[in-house]
């Protein structure tokens, strides 16, 4: 019969605890919305629309899953997208009328 090793001090072993579920972290769509909002100042219309769409989607996902963060990134992406659309329209108008 095999002998069991005893822990120092002779205390009984406690069962290992299961690791806690890790936090989901920052929502990737929120970060993408923020980046698209910034890029929207270079490529105004396309990136601005993408920023708004991803920002709204990210905010819904964050509201549904409390372990996710990034609501500020999503809001910033939406705001930058909203600013980028009129800027893009003005730039496009200037481009068309000046040529």
79 domain residue, yes or no: yes
- The domain tally of the chain equals 1
Predicted confidence at residue 8, as pLDDT, reads 59
Q: Residues 47-76: pLDDT tens digits? A: 999 999 999 999 999 999 989 999 999 999
68 domain residue, yes or no: yes
71 domain residue, yes or no: yes
54 domain residue, yes or no: yes
Q: Residues 75-96: pLDDT tens digits? A: 999 999 999 999 989 988 998 9
Range of the domain at 31: 25-98
93 domain residue, yes or no: yes
Band the pLDDT of 2: cuts 50, 70, 90.
low
43-49 long-range contacts (CB < 8 A, ≥24 apart) are 44/84, 44/85, 44/87, 44/88, 44/89, 44/91, 44/92, 45/84, 45/85, 45/88, 45/89, 45/92, 47/81, 47/84, 48/80, 48/81, 48/82, 48/83, 48/84, 48/85, 48/87, 48/88, 49/81, 49/85
15 domain residue, yes or no: no
Q: Is the pLDDT of residue 19 over 60?
A: no
69 domain residue, yes or no: yes
């Amino acid at each position: 019969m095999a002998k069991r090793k005893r822990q120092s001090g002779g205390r009984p072993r406690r069962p290992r605890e299961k690791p806690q579920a890790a936090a989901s972290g920052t929502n990737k769509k929120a970060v993408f919305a923020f980046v698209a909002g910034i890029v929207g100042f270079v490529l105004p219309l396309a990136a601005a629309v993408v920023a708004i769409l991803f920002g709204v989607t990210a905010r819904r996902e964050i509201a549904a899953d409390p372990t996710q963060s990034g609501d500020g990134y999503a809001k910033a992406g939406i705001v930058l997208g909203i600013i980028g659309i009129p800027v893009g329209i003005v730039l496009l108008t200037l481009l068309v009328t000046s040529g």
